[in-house]
Structure 1
């Protein structure tokens, strides 16, 4: 396993549990998704697993080592997180933002090594950003911004890529484009997704959360059923097979 988490719990100062005794595993090269209604603890769980909340309790092993034993730099060399909200105090260029992905490796040096340059050029080429190198981040479209943030994360050469609603604010075409790019990378991913059809199509395994706990977990096609979706999301759905693609789609009734 890349990541093994046992009894992960996070509560507010007033004692309200946002995440309650969650167990979660992520196997190598698997795409694992977390879904659930707004406020069920999805993003909080991701931040606990990325060791961003010191007050979280439980046991997390990442690459067979207790996550608390990693320094921030060591962890950033092996795990990257693409956040739902990104704020930059200055208007950086696309290349400058992608270069940030190499900060954990260059000891704060201003000059990039040949290895740094190689990784930066490689991910910018992969995500078709070469013609945007000097463009300011604020001038980009929503889809372009998400590709830049993904490129920054990939520049860290992570063994685990954590994604918090990576398709947020994107149109349908850009959503599928971004997730196909991620899927084709063939790396281990843990993602929070709000679109049920995207989760069904792109995730190998699913954790369905409700009120801070895991209600269902397993292979996506086994776990995401009409009954479980109704229980977790309080909506009636039908799983319909497309006559053209032969793929199943979730239709809200």
Structure 2
């Protein structure tokens, strides 16, 4: 159902059962999948690729040009996965020639006034609370939760199943399965509540706890801690994911709370 007061470019590709409310604007190079709802006063610009059964609430701007002075008009996209909800006044910029796309996964909830800049890659089942702000070139894993007013520095990576508390400034990479808090941002324990909700066993949670005890609680250099974990812990997908994250970090990993002066 498309309201007559909405503007849709005749070349936009809109599935038949998409609902577009009055005063929405949809530009030419746009694809919207089946069952998606577009609220009033939403602006969907060139390069938007929106999946099935999404909800986009009033005031959101999808696939706006990057706020990057290096952007030179290249053809890029902003891609939103199936079943994702974009709340009021969210802004999502399309990519630049770095990655040529900004990607948000399936089943995500991006709450009001959040901003996702160019060339970000967001996994599935993520929740970004109100006014979360991501600069460009950020990678976020699956099942990540950002509480309200989190701000993430460009080029940072946040691992899967991580939880970042409200008002935190993320300047370093946040490993998977943990809680991050305080100023400056520090390790604040593992995300045990979230992990149990997602079906992790008590044995898996204990494994994660023991690994991060070596990394962050025992006040070791991360390189030495990673070597100890590789030597002393049985090889599992969880162990290898954590070690891979630590060793592949480009911006450096956050510290344990008692390591900040180290």
Q: TM-score, normalization: structure 1?
A: 0.25
Larger Rg: 2
Q: TM-score, normalised by structure 2?
A: 0.25
More helix by share: 1
Q: Which gives a bigger RCO, structure 1 or 2 (Cα 8 Å, sep 6+)?
A: 1
